[in-house]
A and B are shown apart, each in its own frame.
Chain A
Amino acid sequence: MSVFAIVTSAAAAAAEEAQAHAAEASSAGLPQLDPAWWPSQLFWLVITFGFLYWLMSSRFLPAIAGAIEERRDRIADDLDQAGDFKRQAEDAETAYNQALADAKAKAQGIAADTRAEMDDEIATLQAETDAQLAKQVTTAEARIGEMKAAAATKVGEAAAETARAVVETLIDEAPTEEAASRAVTDAATRLRG
């Protein structure tokens, strides 16, 4: 006996059974089409559906709607409040920035003033120092000039003395001081020129 034969026999058995049921059902008719039970079904439909409608419309749905509405209001309120807080924070930030800018400007003013003051002081000090130094330089220069002149005179005298000594040694005759100094001066003038 093949598998195919088993399947066909099983299918035939099932079909037979279904046919038997179908015959049974058709003899009784569809239960849905039996008018005897219609009034009862309609009666209980009206009772259950009507009662449910009454409860829904008068109690359950308003309760749910109320809860949803309340939540919506609360969220809207919270958002408004958050907006207020945000505005306040922004105001505070603006005020802070303003204060910061003011302080910066003031600090810069003070710094500029101080710098100007110090510049003045430095300039005054420098002028004083310069003047003093100039005076010292002038004095020193004057002294140098004097010393130079003195040195030059001394050198001249020494040269004249030396010249006289040299001449005396050479010719055994000493020129006058006047002549020696004139000769030295002439020589110096020639050398310079």
Chain B
Amino acid sequence: MYGFRAAGPMEQFEILPIVDLHLGSINISLTNSALWMLIGTGAIIVFFFAATRRAALIPGRLQSVAEVLYEFVADLVRDTIGPEGRKFFPYVFTLFMWILVSNLFGLFPSFPGIPHALHTFTPTSHLIVTLALAMLTISIVIVYGFYKNGLGFFKLFAPSGLPLWLMPLLVLIEVISFLSRPLSLAIRLFANMFAGHVILKLFAGFVVSLLGAGGAVMLFGIAPFFGAVAVTALEFLVAALQAYVFAVLTCIYLNDAVHAADH
């Protein structure tokens, strides 16, 4: 026991195995990250199962919330991609819900005294997870882009109505911009979650350190305490906003794939 000793700001991101699992030589252990993916996904499933169990003409509370979420994402997809976006709607909706719940659940406080492996965890605070989601989006863009437009997909890199001597430069810029999309998409979400949790931990750490110092110094723990409260509120906003941003950018990129030849 070390009394008032705060954990380091990076400890919260450590991956801890709960059940060791191996698929051949690949380690697919159930970790704290996997646990919170399962909890988040499970919560979404339970919610939507309850909300759609009796699809009523006059919706109840749960059904209303589900319909609001549905209309929100459906409007986003329709406004950004147009009528052809219909087939991408389930993907964008799943993406939005999965990221939103992953971001939000990570902000809940852990039960005091439970093992470290069971502490709340934000799967989207790991670059590999957000990168995988970003690569999935870009893969869909590339595969659907070529399927829909054939080689016309390359028109994406050559905006029309430009003088010919500018073309090489512009094509280069467009290619670089296209290649940086998955990285910016992945890093934006990861960095927001990562930084938010680090700042929260630092504020909380100051509170614990100053309380541990004892005496009149304990009074100075009040300022970082309110700081932590304010940052927590901010992080809830960021959690929802980043899920929305990821969904919006996914829609914009999918729009490129659908309408590449129209450029």
A contact set with B: CB distance below 8 Å: 6-7, 9-10, 13-14, 17-18, 21-22, 24-25, 28, 30-34, 36-45, 47-49, 51-53, 55-57, 59-61, 63-68, 70-71, 74
Q: What residues of A have a CB within 8 angstroms of the CB of B7 in the complex?
A: 21
Give the distance to chain A from B105, nearest Cβ to Cβ, in Å: 12
The one of B33, B56, B91, B125 that contacts A37, using a Cβ cutoff of 8 Å: B33
Q: How far is the CA of A10 from the CA of B212 in the complex (A)?
A: 10
Q: Taking A44-B38, A49-B98 as contacts, is the C-beta distance between A55 and B202 under 8 angstroms?
A: no
Q: Which of B81-136 contact A (CB under 8 A)?
A: 89-91, 93-94, 97-98, 123, 125-129, 132-133
Q: Which of B18-41 contact A (CB under 8 A)?
A: 21, 23, 26-31, 33-34, 37-38, 40-41
Contact call A56/B90, Cβ cutoff below 8 A: yes
Contact call A63/B91, Cβ cutoff below 8 A: no
Q: What residues of B have a CB within 8 angstroms of the CB of A67 in the complex?
A: 52, 55-57, 59, 63, 67
Q: Taking A48-B37, A64-B55, A71-B57 as contacts, is the C-beta distance between A40 and B29 under 8 angstroms?
A: yes
Contact call B15/A41, Cβ cutoff below 8 A: yes
Give the number of A-B contacts (CB < 8 Å): 161
Contact call B37/A44, Cβ cutoff below 8 A: yes
B contact set with A: CB distance below 8 Å: 6-11, 13-15, 17, 21, 23, 26-31, 33-34, 37-38, 40-41, 44-45, 48-49, 51-52, 55-57, 59, 63, 66-67, 70-71, 89-91, 93-94, 97-98, 123, 125-129, 132-133, 190, 194, 202, 205-206, 209-210, 213, 216-217, 220
Q: Taking A40-B31, A40-B34, A44-B34 as contacts, is the C-beta distance between A30 and B216 under 8 angstroms?
A: no
Most buried by B among A13, A49, A55, A57: A49
Contact sample, A vs B, 11 pairs, CB 8 Å cutoff: A13-B213, A14-B205, A32-B125, A37-B27, A37-B31, A40-B27, A51-B41, A67-B59, A68-B67, A68-B71, A70-B55
The one of B38, B91, B132 that contacts A42, using a Cβ cutoff of 8 Å: B132
Q: How far is the CA of A60 from the CA of B65 in the complex (A)?
A: 13
Q: What residues of A have a CB within 8 angstroms of the CB of B216 in the complex?
A: 6
Q: What residues of B have a CB within 8 angstroms of the CB of A22 in the complex?
A: 8
Contact call B9/A25, Cβ cutoff below 8 A: yes
Contact call B44/A52, Cβ cutoff below 8 A: yes
The one of A6, A37, A68, A71 that contacts B15, using a Cβ cutoff of 8 Å: A37
Contact call A65/B209, Cβ cutoff below 8 A: no
Contact call A10/B123, Cβ cutoff below 8 A: no
Q: What residues of A have a CB within 8 angstroms of the CB of B66 in the complex?
A: 60, 64
The one of B41, B70, B127 that contacts A65, using a Cβ cutoff of 8 Å: B70
Give the distance to chain B from A73, nearest Cβ to Cβ, in Å: 10
Q: What residues of A have a CB within 8 angstroms of the CB of B31 in the complex?
A: 37, 40-41, 44
Give the distance to chain A from B44, nearest Cβ to Cβ, in Å: 6
3 closest A-B pairs by beta carbon, nearest first, are: A21-B8, A57-B90, A44-B34
Contact call B205/A28, Cβ cutoff below 8 A: no
* Residue of chain A at shortest CB distance from B90: A57
Contact call B127/A32, Cβ cutoff below 8 A: yes
Q: How far is the CA of A40 from the CA of B45 in the complex (A)?
A: 22
Q: What residues of B have a CB within 8 angstroms of the CB of A10 in the complex?
A: 210, 213, 217, 220
Q: Taking A31-B10, A67-B55, A68-B70 as contacts, is the C-beta distance between A14 and B94 under 8 angstroms?
A: no
